[in-house]
Amino acid sequence: MSDAPIDRVAAYYARKLAEHGPTPAGVDWNSPASQQLRFERLLHICDRSIPFTVLDYGCGYGALADVIGPVETMRSYTGYDVSREMIDAARARVPGAGRFRFTDRRADLQPADYALASGIFNVKLDVPDDRWRAYTWDTLDDLASLARRGFAFNALTSHSDVDRRRTDLFYLDPALMFECCRQRYSRFVSVLHDYPLWEFTILVRWSDGARG
């Protein structure tokens, strides 16, 4: 197995998909309801009153496409995942023609109005915390570079019960992440920590509503 953190995690999720199929359990969520709630929070970043495009960074089997697809102002959706197995499952589920496309190649990605990432920082396996933290910031830099209007991501909160934390998962301090995102990306940052999951969502918008 590769020593690269993302390759190890891709193999982990491929096993989950093989075990559970294209379902919330197949991307390591505990229920469809919790998956839906995460999507709702991430989509707060989108201004649906005008046409927009979406990049789903770490799309898994394409569940977010089911949620965003009915939105009339959503012009195109690109799902990206490092797991080839996940991309194959997404292509089998979601019609490839028209507004939806999927890829496992970073080189294929073009900027979208909004870049969204759900759950991609949670599972670190036995990767050391400092190495996973560096990977997290590298990935957020990439996410920001691919967003014209803004980006959103979620993470497990450090305010979860200490005795229930798992050593193979990664927890972040929402206040620290807010301040780092404010300094690193934009002063227009929101933290959503008001929903019944042990996590938070951060929304980052550009100052003029668009970037580049």
Q: What is the CATH number of the domain that holds 30?
A: 3.40.50.150
pTM for the model stands at: 0.92
The answer as to whether 212 is a domain residue is no
The answer as to whether 210 is a domain residue is no
pLDDT in tens, the chain (212 residues): 345 778 888 888 889 999 998 898 888 888 889 999 999 999 999 999 999 999 999 999 999 999 999 999 999 999 999 999 999 999 999 976 679 999 999 999 999 999 999 999 999 999 999 999 999 999 999 999 999 999 999 999 999 888 788 899 999 999 999 999 999 999 999 999 999 999 999 999 997 655 54
The answer as to whether 211 is a domain residue is no
In terms of residue numbers, what domain contains 200?
5-205
Q: What is the number of domains present in the chain?
A: 1
The answer as to whether 199 is a domain residue is yes
Sign of CA dihedral 6, 12, 17, 18: positive
The answer as to whether 200 is a domain residue is yes
End-to-end CA distance of the chain: 39
CA distance 23 to 134: 30
The answer as to whether 56 is a domain residue is yes
Phi, psi of 30 (to 5 degrees): -90, -10
CA distance 29 to 35: 7
